[in-house]
Amino acid sequence: MSNKRDFYEILGVARSATDDEIKKSYRKMAMKYHPDRNPDNKEAEAKFKEAKEAYEMLSDPQKRAAYDQYGHAGVDPNMGGFGGGGGQGFGGFSDAFGDIFGDIFGGGSQSRGGPQVYRGADLRYSMEISLEEAANGHDTQIRVPSWSNCEPCHGSGAEPGSKVETCTTCNGAGQVRVAQGFFSMQQTCPRCSGSGSYIPKPCKKCHGAGKIKSQKTLEVKIPAGIDDGMRIRSSGNGEPGVNGGPSGDLYVEVHIKPHPVFERDGDDLHCKMPISFVDAILGGEIEVPTLSGKATFDVPEGTQSGRTFRLRSKGIKSLRTSLPGDLYIHVQVETPVKLTQAQKDLLKQFDDSLKAGGAKHSPQQKGWLDRVKDFFN
């Protein structure tokens, strides 16, 4: 009788698990128990080897079928099962192991046997614009980092008179296999860092990079209606890739400066507007600012402080629908200050006339006084 644990139990999957579920479970266990992450931990090493064997058997359709039918006897080379043949039960194991750990620990892509190819990093550029520029759109230029071929070495990275040579450690593959007991792992060549070549005499100007950092000017079109924090992507204008990999992207992040008059809320604008108490009492036509010029609206007689008026379609045109938002005017009735004695006397006479007229002139005050009276009673 074999004392080995059930392969499905080891990986924590059901017997009906799909190939993707099996691979996902193995990757999780391999990350957890890998010897590089658990140095001198014999228990973790044992679990890692156990998970490896289980994955190698269950990831192969023929071996899995034999295991499902005959159990460990179907894949044990010492018992003449399907996996027999002088230790071939572990055939292809290092390939499965290398593929999975290439996904986990590798940062780039490659063609089998070739150097690793990496995409360049993305760059971010922060730009500040005015509210008017955000509302109407804005075309501008920015200066961003760029890379050009080094002139002395013509982009090779090698000092003039020398040349780039194929890496003798990996024979130009960019990858080497490292043996660990009865299995091996594929990893990036430590000598050439995955490029497949090395430079005996690096160029003194670019230090072997083959490129010189510089600046370039880009045209940026800010669309009308853009909001604070939105980003514009400029494809391919990030850092260059490695070993022929694609360049990254440039993201222009837009920030809108505070405006002295308006506050923005999506596509709507808000404006606090002081008016005299005479205009609030008598009403009349009031002139207000908008982003596209001046506009007028009628303040009704008896307007109270804090009342809000909406001017339709006087906001910002939406970036997505092209429909404009609204402008909200928040009226603030201003109390006169620094009055002359004559003005105070006139106001006193005016106040006496209001009181003589009863509560009809101050309905809010009467309602409030009634609520206070009810509260204390």
The ranges assigned to domains in the chain are 7-105, 119-155+208-258, 262-373
For residue 366, the model assigns a pLDDT of 63
**What mean pLDDT is predicted for residues 350-376?**
75
Q: Which residue has the higher pLDDT, 291 or 120?
A: 291
For residue 115, the model assigns a pLDDT of 59
Greatest C-alpha distance within the chain: 119
Mean pLDDT rounded to a whole number for the chain = 82
Q: What is the pTM of this model?
A: 0.57
For residue 283, the model assigns a pLDDT of 92
Query: Which pair of structure tokens corresponds to residue 38?
Result: 């658990």
Give the pLDDT confidence of 198-233 residue by residue, as tens digits. 888 889 888 887 888 888 899 999 999 999 999 999
For residue 192, the model assigns a pLDDT of 79
**What mean pLDDT is predicted for residues 55-64?**
86
Superfamily of domain 7-105: DnaJ domain (1.10.287.110)
- Give residue 114's pLDDT band: very low, low, confident or very high (50, 70, 90): low
Superfamily of domain 119-155+208-258: Urease metallochaperone UreE, N-terminal domain (2.60.260.20)
For residue 105, the model assigns a pLDDT of 40
Q: Which residue has the higher pLDDT, 105 or 114?
A: 114
**What mean pLDDT is predicted for residues 107-136?**
77
For residue 96, the model assigns a pLDDT of 39
Given a cut of 60, whether residue 368 has pLDDT beyond it is yes
Find the range with the poorest average confidence among 30-44, 124-138, 251-265, 296-310.
30-44
CB distance 254 to 231 below 8 Å? yes
Find the range with the poorest average confidence among 20-34, 118-132, 221-235, 322-336.
20-34
Locus of tokens 């092209």? 322
**What mean pLDDT is predicted for residues 231-240?**
89
For residue 74, the model assigns a pLDDT of 65
Give the pLDDT confidence of 124-174 residue by residue, as tens digits. 999 999 999 999 999 999 998 888 778 888 878 888 888 888 888 888 888
**What mean pLDDT is predicted for residues 327-335?**
94
Given a cut of 50, whether residue 88 has pLDDT beyond it is no
With a pLDDT cut of 70, the percent of the chain lying above it is: 83
Q: Which fold has domain 262-373?
A: HSP40/DNAj peptide-binding domain (2.60.260)
- Give residue 271's pLDDT band: very low, low, confident or very high (50, 70, 90): very high
Pairing of the two strands 268-276 and 327-334: parallel
**What mean pLDDT is predicted for residues 250-274?**
95
Find the range with the poorest average confidence among 102-106, 225-229, 251-255.
102-106
Matching fold, domains 119-155+208-258 and 262-373: yes
For residue 112, the model assigns a pLDDT of 47
Q: What CA–CA distance (Å, rounded) separates 139 from 76?
A: 71
CB distance 243 to 116 below 8 Å? yes
- Give residue 90's pLDDT band: very low, low, confident or very high (50, 70, 90): very low
Q: What CA–CA distance (Å, rounded) separates 355 from 315?
A: 42
- Give residue 341's pLDDT band: very low, low, confident or very high (50, 70, 90): very high
For residue 3, the model assigns a pLDDT of 67
CB within 8 Å of 267: residues ≥ 6 apart: 225, 315, 316, 317, 318, 323, 324, 325
